[in-house]
Structure 1
Amino acid sequence: MRVLVVGATGLIGTHVVRLLSPEHEVITASRKGSAVPVDLSDKASIVAMFDTLGTVDAVICTAGAAKFAPLSALSDADFEFSLANKLMGQVNLVRCAAAHLSQGGSVTLTSGILARHSVEGSAAVSIVNAGVEAFCRSAALELKGKARVNAVSPPWVAETLQSMGRNPADGKPAAVVALAYKRSLTGDITGQVIDVT
């Protein structure tokens, strides 16, 4: 399959690319350092990416940023950034991908554990992740018969916890998280939020 990975240079994206490359033609996309440049927060950039690529069999998005901070410290701009980047970026990715997917293709988005297990400081991240999950289920209905749409909900990633000075054993390694994206790509499910086990 011809698989576009958006966010290919990030922690999870790097492992997804490594996992899929032996069996698929993987096209890497990110803001910098990839074969194809794309800014997820800029719809025109997403349109330009697909205009360059043409048809793909699948899109996997491991990109998207949202602000993590106490509610009292979050500004309107922090919420706007989070919504424009991780939520609307992935919404627009699906909207633009629909015309460039081969019949029966798939799109896999990224939400996260904070959609359902909030912690202090996660207000902006939690609302965005929950929005991605709701959109995934709705988009799957809209694209039924044309393409599958799923989302992976990563837990805390071990390498991220370690970089924060926390116990990596409280998370899952990025290589394990990548397996959930492969399951979405090669399976037949749609409209599902895939938890990493």
Structure 2
Amino acid sequence: MKVMIIGASGIIGRAVAENLEKDHEIIRVGKSRGDLLVDLTEESSVKALFERSGKVDAIIATMGSVHFGPLAEMTAEQFNQGLQNKLLGQVRLVLIGKEHLNAGGSFTLTTGILTHQPIRTGVNATAVNAALEGFVLAAANELAGLRINAVSPTVVTEALDKYAPFFPGFESASASRVALAYRRSVDGIDNGKVFRVW
């Protein structure tokens, strides 16, 4: 299969590419580096991505930023960062990408453990992740001939140097273990499922 990975230069994206490249053709996509470039916050950029890539069999999104900060100090503009980037970026990928997936193709989006286990300063992340999981659940009923799932990882071991203070007491998972869930989504039969790697 021809598999497009958006966010392929990140910790999770690299692990997913390494897992899948033994069996599939991988198109690595990033905002600043990769086989192809895209800014998921811009509709024209997403359309241009698919014009260059042509039809693919699977689209994986392992990207998306949110705002971390105390709710008491948060502004609507700060909250909107996560909405525009991680939430609408991945939704936009599906809305445009569905026309560029081969029959039987799949989307795999990325949410996170904060959907169900909130942390201090993580209100934006929890809200965005929950919205993405709702989108996957509903979209699975309407994407005729296509599948859509999400992967919800805990904090990744390789990122603990940056994120450990935000996740006190959380058990991490290696990027290679998280990558297995993306493999299940791409090569499996599930639709509308959230694969939790906690």
Question: Which residue of the partner structure matches residue 80 of structure 1?
Answer: 80
Question: Which residue of the partner structure matches residue 43 of structure 1?
Answer: 43
Question: Which residue of the partner structure matches residue 97 of structure 2?
Answer: 97
Counterpart secondary structure, 2:136: helix
Query: How many Å separate the matches in 1 of 2:150 and 2:69?
Result: 24
Alignment of 1:4-15 (within 5 A): 4-15=4-15
The answer as to whether partners of 1:104 and 1:148 remain within 8 angstroms in 2 is yes
The answer as to whether partners of 1:5 and 1:61 remain within 8 angstroms in 2 is yes
AA of the residue aligned to 1:147: L
Question: Which residue of the partner structure matches residue 114 of structure 1?
Answer: 114
The answer as to whether partners of 1:66 and 1:82 remain within 8 angstroms in 2 is yes
Counterpart secondary structure, 2:140: helix
Question: Which residue of the partner structure matches residue 150 of structure 1?
Answer: 149
Question: Which residue of the partner structure matches residue 192 of structure 1?
Answer: 193
The answer as to whether partners of 2:70 and 2:120 remain within 8 angstroms in 1 is yes
Counterpart secondary structure, 1:50: helix
Question: Which residue of the partner structure matches residue 172 of structure 1?
Answer: 173
Which deviations, in whole Å up to 9, do the C-alpha atoms of 1:25-63 show, x marking residues without a partner? 000101012010001111211111011111000000001
The answer as to whether partners of 1:55 and 1:100 remain within 8 angstroms in 2 is yes
The answer as to whether partners of 1:30 and 1:37 remain within 8 angstroms in 2 is yes
The answer as to whether partners of 1:138 and 1:191 remain within 8 angstroms in 2 is yes
The answer as to whether partners of 1:161 and 1:168 remain within 8 angstroms in 2 is no
AA of the residue aligned to 2:14: T
1:73 Cα offset (Å):
2.4
**Change in 2 beyond 3 A, CA 1:80/1:164:** closer
Counterpart secondary structure, 1:22: coil
Structure 1: tracts of 5 or more residues without a match? none
| More deviation, 36-45/3-12 | 36-45
Which deviations, in whole Å up to 9, do the C-alpha atoms of 1:162-192 show, x marking residues without a partner? 3345589820011111110001000000001
The answer as to whether partners of 1:115 and 1:125 remain within 8 angstroms in 2 is yes
Counterpart secondary structure, 1:97: helix
Question: Which residue of the partner structure matches residue 159 of structure 2?
Answer: 160
Q: TM-score, normalised by structure 1?
A: 0.95
AA of the residue aligned to 2:172: G
Q: TM-score, normalised by structure 2?
A: 0.95
Alignment of 1:118-133 (within 5 A): 118-133=118-133
1:112 Cα offset (Å):
0.5
**Change in 2 beyond 3 A, CA 1:165/1:114:** closer
How many residues are paired up? 196
Percent identity between the two aligned chains: 40
